[in-house]
Structure 1
Amino acid sequence: MALAIKKTHGSFVETIDGAPPLKKLRLQTLAASAINRSKSKSKTIEKKLQVLSQLEPYFTGGATDTIAGAGAGSCAIGDVGAGTSTAVDANTTVTVVAASGSGPLVVSGQGPQTTTGSGSSSTTTTTGRSTKELLEVLVKITDEITYENVDLAELKEASTKIFQLYQLQDPDSDTSVRVKLLELLCGLGCECTTEQAMTLIIDYFMYLLRKETAQKVLAKGMMCLYRIGQRRGHLVPMSYNTQVAHLAKEQLRSGSTHTQKNAMLVIGNFSTRLEGERHYVWKLAFYIDSQDSGVRAQALHALLTLGERGSKLPAVLYKRAVEAMKDDYECVRMEALRLVYVLGNCHPDQVIGSEGRGEQEDIRMIDAAFSKVCESLCDLSLQIRVLAAELLGGMTQVSREFLNQTLDKKLMSNLRRKRTAHERGARLVTSGEWSSGKRWADDAPQERLDARSISIIASGACGALIHGLEDEFLEVRTAAVASMCKLALSRPDFAVTSLDFLVDMFNDEIEDVRLKAIYSLTAIARHIVLREDQLEIMLSSLEDYSVDVREGLHLMLGACRVSTQTCLLMVVQKLLDVLAKYPQDRHSTYACMRKIGQKHSHLVMAVAQHLLYVHPFFETPERDVEDPAYLCVLILVFNAAEHLVPIISLLPTATHRHYAYLRDSMPHLVPQLPIEGASSSNGMVVQAAGKSANYLQMILNHIEEIFTMTDERVALLQTAQSNLQRLGAIDSDMYGTSNFLETFLAAQIQIEQMQRCTSTQRSRVPLKESLAALIRNCLKLQHTFSGLNYGDILQVKQLRLRACALHLVLVVRDRSQSALGPCQMLLQTAGDISAFIKANSKEDEEQQQMQLQSGADVSISKEKSSLSHTTSTDAQPDSFTRQLLGKLDAITDPKPGRVFREILPLVQNAPPLALPPANDKIRRCVANILEPCPLQSQDNVIKVTAGLIAAVPFVAEIDNLLESQKADMRIKIKYPDQHMHTVVPKMSDFKPIMTEQGEHETNVRLRTTILVSHSVWTEASLVEIQLCLAVRPGSELELCKPAKVLFAPKPVRRGI
């Protein structure tokens, strides 16, 4: 039940007057003077990590330590002061001076040196403060610190300070302090934005962890490196990846299982592809047999991570993974199952031996892996069964025999390999046992079942999908249905075999499972033909209480094919019966009838006269064209006649008149047919659709010529506006583009007309209405269109900037209302467009630097940029925008009067703003209200006692709705006394519209219930219900025409 919120809407000007107090907004533009730049440079940068200053009292006078290269070569230590990094050789001794305060880390690479400075040297213990107090401060800092938008210099300074404080800790003291310091250093590393800062943080970690001996600290350090790699792995140089992976490899020998597991995480995320294939794969495989279950699971997970990052996993790991699938711990079995799946898909044709002894029989690895995954469907763990059911759908390269065996519960040959007659005879001859003489070895004792006689196909593969479909948990059943659908899409023969099992899932007790089965059958409908017994089960589900299930079945029946006339009559009759029971399903039923007619034209021709009740001798009475059942039959017959024209000769004369009516009222359901009396605009529409792009470009060329004229410019622009509107009505594919240009041109015409009012006084009331319409058009361009490139967005922002400037000028000249609101809106709009231009120029600079660093070909980059969205080099702000931003930036005290005097000459002499070029990717967000139905709402009066609540079902389809716009959707209810309520629908009420190809990306259906209530009225009156998009407080953009319902609140009855 949606929540109803009552509010009162004021006019546009009243909304502006109620804005918060005026604030000074400084704009950063190219027109800023050198004095302002020097002032901005001299300003003190606000520190984001000021909370780290609480660590100052815990530094001693000085401390020195020695860094010696260890293990794998060299370690790079960044010089914070100079902003560079210095490579330290393994044989070089480096002295690190930890000075008091927050000074930089001093690194010397010329051999052993003596440290100078205040205080004593070679001090590594914290003095003056207890470890407990320091730990409390660190916990407090961890809770309060924020790493967002940290300056690079401040980040280096803070990391150096943490590094120094870590060195001052006693190695034998409590490890909690060092763990907290590593957490702070990890937080800084996760916010690094440059390679230089990242190398500095990693240098600190490697140096500290090489000296560390406490397992708790080592485990935390490995986890911190893993997090840094997850967040900023793209900034880590290749050489550092190798060093970090080598450091983690050394920690695999640790006695702590926690350290080992975290080290495996680091290896999986930092090792390079070649090193992973040569060294780390075999090193990790060694720990699959570890005594600790967590280490075993983490080793398998690290192998999977290496495979995801490009390393090729060897096929010999398959047997180790199969053995791990028998582990007692669920976590190990789950990772082993994933590894078996990956190995099977990576080496599908690799031939391996069977598990039997003696006779060696070869089998493809994908088949063996498929059998093992099928066996996991009988695992005791729910998570493993769900995972196994999901993985089955990705093993599309499996052999047909193994795939078909999953749908048969009977074991092949009673678990014995079937031998040929020659083999059976040779076995009798060579047995040599005593017998009665009737048959060789007939009295020999029954030998024990040998392993080699067992079928190659494991017992788990027999009926595996059936076990998944019959599982007691809905998660397993849903995953099994999805996997069966994926396998059926790649194997048409398997689609026919699995049809009966998918149809049986229509009777599942869980609605989500039924829907999954319906949509899966819809996806594979092109491979199957339904039989009569299967149709009976499907049609019985049409009476389901859930509207989603019924609509899903309508979609499925429209996608499938039936075999006989009897099946077609069963489907049509059942659909008509259910429509009489659920009249609200008429839209999906009409669409279903249209699809059925298109796919079964020959069957419809055979039963057309039966469906239309046509008598061979007598003329039947004319049926009501508004009858939903009759409409369904007509839609079915007319769509079949599109593919089989002789059907038209079987239709009665009244049907021809009904076709003319339906062709005009339902053009999306009734096709164009050669019937007299109907509109024959289909050919012209197709011809216009083929030339619509050229026609649109011609309109834009005419508009450019009109802008150069001075006389009758507005009248010509209005003619062009009507042409764009007509083009969108003719060609649905060009609707978004033409409507965008039409709305842009309408706002331009309004600005052209109002620009003349800047020199003359006009009445106030038309001024308010026209200004509100102009701002509404700007908001519509900004919020209801998607698919805009940079040039389109820039033009829309410039148009709104002009509208805000014109608004301020007209309000100040009117002198009847406050100008604070329009002035603040102008400054905010100017700041928005200035930030937008600056952000885009910064992105272009970063892209150019990346191209120069990578040495990319200039011609290739130009070709890609031409195919992608328009960049800032192609679209630049016009002269009016640059001058206006420069003047606003130069104003030190932006009061309305001062701003008015500065921008008035610009507004009066502003040239027209050019239209953006045609972009065929633009889509407009529009809605269509299905319920309350406009045709039936006038007949059905909603009666309720005054003051009580009446529930009205509301269903609407919204096209081209972005995910970010769902939270801004509103249902506006307008009563006859001009009171308005706004209903905020729940996010769960939005569901994607299903098609034969799956879920639609941007088209959704909103299904909810709105509450209507009012005081006593004398008679029933119309209540308008409309779907809107809330772009800001007090401003809603209507997405459709309002639906009207008759509402009659009756007075309360007194007595009985």
Structure 2
Amino acid sequence: QQHTPSSSGGGGDWLPSALTDPNTNTVFASLLSLPHALPLNADCEQEAVEGLLSLLHSLSTCTSSEADTVEDAAESVQLQQGAEAAVSKQDLLTQVVAVLPLIITARPDNVNVQLANNAVEALCKCGTQWLQKERQKQLQLTQQPALPTVEHSACATSRVLGQTVRAAYTLAQHCHATAPTGQHSGNNSPPHQLLRLALACLSVHQHHLVKVSCLEAAGGVCSRVAGQQENVNPTLRLSSGKKEQRNKTTNSTIAEVVMALLMHSTHHDNRVRTAAFKAMVVCERSGVRLPPEAYTEVVEALDDDYQCVREAAIDLITSIAINDGERKVPPTVDGEEPERLADHAFFRICGCMNDSSVRVRVRAAASLSSIPAVSHQVLLQTLDKKLFSNMRRKLSYHERQAALVSSGQWSKGREWGEDVVQEQLSPETTSLTHSAGAFVHGLEDECLEVRNASLDALALLAEGSQLFANQCLDFLVDMFNDEIEDVRLKAVQVLQRIVRHIKLQEDQLDEILHALKDSWNCIRESVHTLIGSCTFTTTACLQATVAALMDNISRYPQDVSSIQLCMVSLGRRQAGLVAGLVPLLLLTHPYFDAVQPSLHQAPYICKLLLVLNAAAKMPTILPLLEEHTLHHYAYLRDTLPNLVPQLKVSQSINSPVSDVLSNTEGFLQQSLSKLRRLEGASTQLRLTLYSSVYSDLQKLSALDPTMSAAAEFAALYTRCSLLLTRLLNCPGWLQQESSGGNVQQLVTLTFRLVHAFTGLGPGDKACARGIRLRALALQLVYVVNGSTGSALGLCETFLNHAKPLKESGSNFTVSSNNKKKDASNESNIIPEDEFLTSVLNQLNNEKRPGTVARTLQPLLSAHPPTPLPPIVNPRAIHQATATIKEPVNDSDVIHKLIAGLLLAVPLDAQLSHIPDPSAVRIRISYPDQSVQHVVPRLNHLQAMDDPHCYRLQTTVLLTAGVWSEACQVQLSLVLDLSPPGPKRKHDPHTIDLSEPTTVMLWPKPMKKGI
């Protein structure tokens, strides 16, 4: 039976007294149910750990004959009682050792250090006793043949011993993380006891499970002991003699651990060798310097037969090269000069790029970018496939001459066919076998994981070296033709990271522009971003780029917005080149009048954005513009203010909206101030002013994109106030059937008002929640008086919203009690809501819907909605929105499918200011009024540069029965904010993020075969 924890975290129904039961089956069952009762409270945890340690001590101290006698007695008693066989001692020990660290570390942020230390000491004693029994067992095995039962017992002992060491290491890690520095620095501390146990097991025990656990513990504890030696708590006062003796003991222990790791790096079992190398990696990264012979052994391990060993060896070589890269490595051949360890390690890891294992090649590619201070000559050799090495056979003069004439190759800087003696080969022109062409092989690898890892390594290395970035440019451009889309996308992204170091030539630009024909829009948009960040050398490059982008618009019209951003960035960076192409781009002539282009043409708009943004950097472009171009500039300045810069043109051409844009914030505050002067006004005046302000705020939202969210928030609040006031002042609204729809609309709008906006100030949030509370009160009053439905759920929802509002409002300043306001305190001012105060004072603990409704009805009429306070920072307010780019609204395209089968429709959308992307849903509305909400995969949501902005690329599956004709299916994006548990039918729980897009669907019956 599984026990669930109680709400207070006290362990549920599990009792520590079950550990002292004489029946082993009862104890074992209690141990099995213990993990389900975690975490325990402090008292129960103390008692449980003491019981487990007592049980562990009793099981580990008894001899084998005693344990067999106890097990036989228990088994005979249970067989007489008709029960199943008793649990063995080793199974019980295994469960005790497994459960002990789980109890102590159930709360990682509140570990009882004293309990953990006691557990580590007990586990070390248990391990020592089991190790002594293992020694005795080995002596017995040498004197008599091994029986199957003995082998099984030895294997079980190895499993228990390995698990014991691992449990002690887990507890020691948590003790080190929570205990003060230097607390466990003594030679008899639990970490040192664990080290001695691990070293003893490594020297005696031969089973791989034990050795792997001990190597892991030895490496981890040794690194922590070394760190404690450098960072001892200054409050611990020790004499100089004691300090010196303790440091000597610690150093000898560390040296002993390092020698044990080196000895096991050549073990016959590959799992042990892997564990030894991983432990050395931990030691090296924590500051424990390995001896020089360790590097020699790990280099030889690169030729190991097992890929796990080679992977661990690559990690260790990388760590040594990072910490000690300037050390000289002695040559393997007489007469050669010593090499820098960083270069030598880089050479050796480059050799692993041709390994037979994919995992090793990926690890090698990732490690190449981690080694610092590698020589430029070594880096450049990774991009060179030609090998000039002494290891090759020296060809004769006639053989070399025949090969040169037949191939047409030329010697670098030397005469045709010249015989160069071996001594004249310069080191700069000689490539070593391991490093030559390493990245070329990685980029041409058959596995995409290796190619991706190679691209990542190239990006990191090229970011720090301009010379290397220019050398690898051709190879990155070649990756644009890869067969895998993800690799092509990563190649574009890598080129974006190093674009500041390079200048594109015409032949390289042709390959990049060819990627604009790719069918995947992510690649095309990444290429647009890349082109906007590039630096061109000639006007021919710019002209070819513009032509390719215009072709992209004709192929994929949905890329217009991305191309417009590309043109804006390109115009700002290449203003000098654009100035020479203005007549060609705008099709103007100094003598003849050309046809005036239309502003409805997307290619012309993109070219105009290029020229206008270049004119902001190069004022000499303005005299080249025609009069109609300047009028088009004024239009674009009004419609696309975030893409068109402000230019110094004549006053008659300037946009009339430019002055309005500069004063939109003042207009917003002025509109809100009108509503704050409505106190004591008549109902008719309120309704008229609400309608006027709502209309003005809607126009302001469409006019200025930077103020759109704040204006939309104020407009939505004004609309809710308008609906609420109109309903309450309509005679007999409780008996009208249309009131139900208006009340539901008000509840839906207030739900959006509260949840769709971020960046609001405390006063704005309080006003939104206040009108939300009024909408819920109005809904409750309408259901109680004008409907026959149950109002218990509505009453509970209303009371749950009312109480938190009073608690949150007490933490801020109330405007009525603060006559003197300043700018620093204005953001913390919350208008006093008399409706909320009256509701809490009159209802008290009342929960009956009828009584609550009768109390709320006069309060709603007596207290109109609170006006919004001044919005302190309107540009910090954001609204959760989404824009569906694909599919587009096109009624001419009809998607036909067989009725009952699925039709995959690609969906591409851009989501902005979404706090929780897991709440995004795709709403599918069919013509029969049925609605489906589909949860997109989280990996289909790609995070963008702006915070809380995502790109959704997924596939929507549509299906339907047989229809007589094609009908519209609407797709839209919503946020699902429904709470857990059952939901009422009319409660709003979704927020619309986008306008619906229409897909024409026509399911047809399946044709019968002949």
Question: What is the TM-score normalised by the length of structure 2?
Answer: 0.72
Give the residue type in structure 2 aligned to 1:204: A
Q: Which residue is 1:297 aligned to?
A: 274
In 1, Cα distance between equivalents of 2:106 and 2:17: 23
1:359-380: CA deviations, max 9, x gaps? 7856555444433433333334
Q: 751, 754, 771: which one pairs with 2:743?
A: 771
In 2, Cα distance between equivalents of 1:905 and 1:1028: 36
User: Aligned-pair distance for 1:236?
Assistant: 4.6
Q: Which residue is 2:418 aligned to?
A: none
Q: 462, 471, 493: which one pairs with 2:467?
A: 493
Give the residue type in structure 2 aligned to 1:818: S
Q: Which residue is 1:923 aligned to?
A: 878
Q: 255, 258, 267: which one pairs with 2:209?
A: 258
In 2, Cα distance between equivalents of 1:320 and 1:943: 67
Q: Which residue is 1:5 aligned to?
A: none
Q: Are the counterparts in 2 of residues 156 and 197 from structure 1 also a CA contact under 8 Å? A: no
Q: 165, 182, 186: which one pairs with 1:222?
A: 165
Q: 930, 935, 940: which one pairs with 1:990?
A: 940
Q: Which residue is 1:601 aligned to?
A: 575
User: Aligned-pair distance for 1:220?
Assistant: 1.6
Q: Which residue is 2:94 aligned to?
A: 179
In 2, Cα distance between equivalents of 1:635 and 1:268: 62
SS in 2 for 1:398: coil
User: Aligned-pair distance for 1:414?
Assistant: 5.2
- Using CA pairs under 8 Å that are at least 6 residues apart, name the structure with larger relative contact order, 1 or 2: 1
In 1, Cα distance between equivalents of 2:319 and 2:870: 50
Describe the shift of the 1:466–1:148 C-alpha distance in structure 2 as closer, same or farther (beyond 3 A). same
Q: Are the counterparts in 2 of residues 785 and 925 from structure 1 also a CA contact under 8 Å? A: yes
Whether 1:568 and 2:542 are equivalent positions in the alignment is yes
Equivalent runs, 1:426-437 vs 2, <5 Å: none
Q: Are the counterparts in 2 of residues 951 and 1012 from structure 1 also a CA contact under 8 Å? A: no
Q: Which residue is 2:119 aligned to?
A: 204
Q: Are the counterparts in 2 of residues 378 and 460 from structure 1 also a CA contact under 8 Å? A: no
Q: Which residue is 2:405 aligned to?
A: none
In 2, Cα distance between equivalents of 1:896 and 1:136: 54
Describe the shift of the 1:749–1:247 C-alpha distance in structure 2 as closer, same or farther (beyond 3 A). farther
The CA RMSD over aligned residues, in Å, is: 5.0
Describe the shift of the 1:782–1:251 C-alpha distance in structure 2 as closer, same or farther (beyond 3 A). farther
User: Aligned-pair distance for 1:485?
Assistant: 1.2
In 1, Cα distance between equivalents of 2:762 and 2:99: 39
SS in 2 for 1:563: coil
In 1, Cα distance between equivalents of 2:876 and 2:226: 39
Q: Which residue is 1:1042 aligned to?
A: 996
Equivalent runs, 1:534-933 vs 2, <5 Å: 534-614=508-588, 619-651=593-625, 655-656=629-630, 658-659=632-633, 661-673=635-647, 680=655, 684=659, 687-688=662-663, 692=665, 702=673, 732-733=705-706, 735-736=708-709, 739-740=712-713, 743=716, 762-765=734-737, 767-786=739-758, 800-801=772-773, 803-814=775-786, 816-829=788-801, 890=845, 894-900=847-853, 912=866, 918=872, 922-933=877-888
Deviates more, 1:530-539 or 1:253-262: 253-262
SS in 2 for 1:146: helix
Equivalent runs, 1:944-983 vs 2, <5 Å: 953-962=906-915, 964-973=916-925, 975=927, 979-982=929-932
Give the residue type in structure 2 aligned to 1:334: E
1:216-266: CA deviations, max 9, x gaps? 434223323444567787445556755332232122221335345434544
Q: 359, 381, 397: which one pairs with 2:357?
A: 381
1:796-849: CA deviations, max 9, x gaps? 6666455434533443344554312312323554687799999x99xxxxxxxx
Q: Which residue is 2:262 aligned to?
A: 288
| Structure 1 unmatched ranges of 5 or more | 1-43, 61-126, 417-445, 842-865
Q: Which residue is 2:79 aligned to?
A: none
In 1, Cα distance between equivalents of 2:808 and 2:280: 44
| Structure 2 unmatched ranges of 5 or more | 1-5, 68-88, 131-157, 231-249, 393-420, 813-822
Equivalent runs, 1:66-145 vs 2, <5 Å: 127=22, 129=23, 131=24, 133=25, 137=29, 140-141=32-33, 145=35
SS in 1 for 2:973: strand
Q: Are the counterparts in 2 of residues 147 and 188 from structure 1 also a CA contact under 8 Å? A: no
Give the residue type in structure 2 aligned to 1:942: I
Describe the shift of the 1:645–1:403 C-alpha distance in structure 2 as closer, same or farther (beyond 3 A). same
SS in 2 for 1:971: strand
Q: Are the counterparts in 2 of residues 925 and 961 from structure 1 also a CA contact under 8 Å? A: yes
Equivalent runs, 1:8-47 vs 2, <5 Å: none
User: Aligned-pair distance for 1:1054?
Assistant: 13
Give the residue type in structure 2 aligned to 1:59: T
Q: How many residues align?
A: 859
SS in 1 for 2:894: strand
SS in 2 for 1:325: helix
User: Aligned-pair distance for 1:481?
Assistant: 0.8
Q: Which residue is 1:169 aligned to?
A: 59
Q: Are the counterparts in 2 of residues 248 and 264 from structure 1 also a CA contact under 8 Å? A: no
Describe the shift of the 1:221–1:1050 C-alpha distance in structure 2 as closer, same or farther (beyond 3 A). closer
In 1, Cα distance between equivalents of 2:959 and 2:625: 46
User: Aligned-pair distance for 1:478?
Assistant: 0.7
Describe the shift of the 1:877–1:966 C-alpha distance in structure 2 as closer, same or farther (beyond 3 A). farther
Q: 268, 287, 302: which one pairs with 1:312?
A: 287
Q: Are the counterparts in 1 of residues 466 and 501 from structure 2 also a CA contact under 8 Å? A: yes
Q: Which residue is 2:36 aligned to?
A: 146
Deviates more, 1:515-524 or 1:159-168: 159-168
Q: Are the counterparts in 1 of residues 120 and 172 from structure 2 also a CA contact under 8 Å? A: no
Whether 1:59 and 2:20 are equivalent positions in the alignment is yes
Q: Are the counterparts in 1 of residues 119 and 168 from structure 2 also a CA contact under 8 Å? A: no
Whether 1:942 and 2:894 are equivalent positions in the alignment is yes
Q: 365, 368, 375: which one pairs with 1:392?
A: 368
Q: Which residue is 2:488 aligned to?
A: 514
Q: Are the counterparts in 2 of residues 47 and 154 from structure 1 also a CA contact under 8 Å? A: no
- Percentage of matched positions with identical amino acids: 28
Q: Which residue is 2:237 aligned to?
A: none
SS in 1 for 2:445: coil
SS in 2 for 1:169: helix
Q: Are the counterparts in 2 of residues 972 and 1028 from structure 1 also a CA contact under 8 Å? A: no
1:761-790: CA deviations, max 9, x gaps? 645445434433443244324443346799
Describe the shift of the 1:47–1:249 C-alpha distance in structure 2 as closer, same or farther (beyond 3 A). closer
1:140-188: CA deviations, max 9, x gaps? 536xx42456433333343344344444436434322011022222222
Q: Are the counterparts in 1 of residues 113 and 179 from structure 2 also a CA contact under 8 Å? A: yes
Give the residue type in structure 2 aligned to 1:374: C
Q: Are the counterparts in 2 of residues 989 and 1007 from structure 1 also a CA contact under 8 Å? A: no
